[in-house]
Structure 1
Amino acid sequence: YNLSKKPEKDAKIWQTVGVTFYKKWKGDPKKFLESCGWDALTILKRLREDTHREGARRVSDYPYLRGPKIGSLWVRVLRDNIGLTQLKNLDKVPIPVDRHVARATLATGVIRGKARGSLQDLFEHIREAWFKSVKGLMAKDRPMIALDVDEPLWHLSKYGCKERDKATGYCPVKKDCVAADFCVKGKIMIKNNFVELDTYCCCSRRE
């Protein structure tokens, strides 16, 4: 189905993850989560640090899942798609950031101003910004957390913000966008891992 850009590498990675769950947790990932006390931060720490011996060296138990983006994403999926309500400290899990989440964050003015360089240099600022931005807000009957805006931001960029003119900020789908009131003006150019940003609020004198 051409879903993987690196089929051999990805196959090895997911084989490793699958074998880890089979050998260490009797094929039940929930046993791993239970060993972490259902604590999201402990889960992320274990995903990063747990290893096993492969020949003469030690290798990660959970390649891919151990990364800052996929780890946080996996924890959110456990809540949203699997329905695990036992998970704790989800409010302390940083939002998984990729180019789509970054673009939507910049386009809505959560982070604005001038920047030029590596896109990844903005990732920590984006994580921190969303921790702060959701404070005091509610998601139905509970306090909103940063993970709650991950999927909406991804879709906002994928089907909206990526259509912006990279230099002027003009967006052809703005009239149909539910986030249009938050859209900022200016340049947002993202290419590979490079970003050039020069944005300002629509209520600015520069309008």
Structure 2
Amino acid sequence: MTSNLFINNVKRLVQMHAEGLLGGEVMPEDALLGVVPTDEMANVLTLGMSLNYQRNSYTLWQSIAQAYLDDRSRWIFHPHAASSSDLGDLRNTLLQYRVALQPNRHPDIWQRVAKGIAQSSPSGDVLGMIAAVQSDIATLKSIMQGTRKSEFPYLSGPKIFNYWLYVMESYAGVGWKSRELITVAPDTHILKATVKLGLCTSDVLSGTADDRQAVAEAWERALTGSGLAPIDVHTPLWLWSRAGFPALSGTEEMVR
């Protein structure tokens, strides 16, 4: 497949998503819309995303929305409060709404991430942490995936980290510098869609860390000069795979 045809297929896929032709118009994080106010969305998204690993995303975010709606449990989404709380109290609250499923590991991760946020921000919250690095993705990446990686378990992983950057932009209104640095978050659906489009061979479907890195880098190379950032194609690819790969009508040639 020529590069021009590949880019045309990708742009058609993005267009189909914009036209609502891929189904799944309701994304997991949409559960927060109308529930969490804009000024608190960054905290809720970040702490919630820290447990979005090997979970049903729709169920997780519904649980988070229910926990936020309860005035008695809303404190868990305030990084300073969560970081300084009694771990037993935090555990009980997270388990009550099934935000946490593992009674030891999940509350520990939540509190560690809350501490990492509070200690990175003059205001003790996520927006303050982002402001402290002037919304620079490269600087934030060097902190969360480098010098202070241990403070951001799960969230520092390349898949969740890049998807977190995307949802912060999409739901919390964060304007990132160098947003082209946000790669696709190569979960199983992204791997399958990447192979379907012919960008990578089926070898990457084994889903190792190297495979996921190779897919992310392949998208960066493929979209250079196209006017699209890699993260722009993440949701269309994800939904296309979930929908069973409907034909990309309107392209010069159907994908394999």
Q: Which TM bucket (shorter chain)?
A: 0.5 to 0.7
Task: Judge conservation of contact 1:95–1:147 (CA < 8 Å) in 2.
Answer: yes
Gap runs ≥5 in structure 2: 1-57, 61-98
Give the aligned residue type for 2:133: C
Task: Judge conservation of contact 1:91–1:146 (CA < 8 Å) in 2.
Answer: yes
Relative to structure 2, which stretch is displaced further, 60-69 or 42-51? 42-51
Give the aligned residue type for 1:7: Q
* Identity within the alignment, %: 25
Map of 1:133 onto structure 2: 222
> Which residue of 137, 149, 174 maps to 1:40?
137
Give the aligned residue type for 1:40: I
* Distance in 1 (alpha carbons) for counterparts of 2:233 and 2:165: 14
Task: Judge conservation of contact 1:101–1:157 (CA < 8 Å) in 2.
Answer: yes
* Distance in 1 (alpha carbons) for counterparts of 2:204 and 2:185: 22
Q: Say which structure is richer in strand.
A: 1
Task: Judge conservation of contact 2:159–2:187 (CA < 8 Å) in 1.
Answer: yes
Q: Residues 118 and 5 (structure 1 numbering): CA distance in 2 closer, same or farther, change over 3 Å? A: farther
Does residue 109 of structure 1 match 2:198? yes
Q: CA deviation at 1:179?
A: 9.1
Q: CA deviation at 1:104?
A: 0.7
Map of 1:95 onto structure 2: 184
Task: Judge conservation of contact 2:166–2:182 (CA < 8 Å) in 1.
Answer: no
Map of 2:207 onto structure 1: 119
Give the aligned residue type for 2:218: A
Gap runs ≥5 in structure 1: 52-58, 138-142, 162-173, 185-207
Q: Residues 158 and 15 (structure 1 numbering): CA distance in 2 closer, same or farther, change over 3 Å? A: farther
Map of 2:230 onto structure 1: 146
Higher relative contact order (CA 8 A, sep 6+): 2
Map of 2:102 onto structure 1: 7
Map of 2:90 onto structure 1: none
* Distance in 2 (alpha carbons) for counterparts of 1:50 and 1:43: 10
Give the aligned residue type for 2:160: I
Question: TM-score, length-normalised on structure 1?
Answer: 0.64
Task: Judge conservation of contact 2:190–2:234 (CA < 8 Å) in 1.
Answer: yes
Give the aligned residue type for 1:44: K
Map of 2:20 onto structure 1: none
Task: Judge conservation of contact 1:50–1:61 (CA < 8 Å) in 2.
Answer: no
Task: Judge conservation of contact 1:108–1:179 (CA < 8 Å) in 2.
Answer: no
Q: How does 1:167-206 map to 2 (within 5 A)?
A: 174=246, 181-184=253-256
Q: CA deviation at 1:117?
A: 7.8
Map of 2:33 onto structure 1: none
Give the aligned residue type for 2:128: K
Q: CA deviation at 1:102?
A: 0.4
> Which residue of 144, 150, 154 maps to 1:60?
150
Q: CA deviation at 1:5?
A: 8.2
Q: CA deviation at 1:22?
A: 3.0
Q: Residues 36 and 116 (structure 1 numbering): CA distance in 2 closer, same or farther, change over 3 Å? A: closer
Q: CA deviation at 1:71?
A: 0.9
* Alignment coverage as a number of residue pairs: 157
Give the CA RMSD over aligned residues: 2.8
Q: Residues 5 and 158 (structure 1 numbering): CA distance in 2 closer, same or farther, change over 3 Å? A: farther
Task: Judge conservation of contact 1:21–1:29 (CA < 8 Å) in 2.
Answer: yes
Q: CA deviation at 1:72?
A: 0.9
Q: CA deviation at 1:178?
A: 5.5
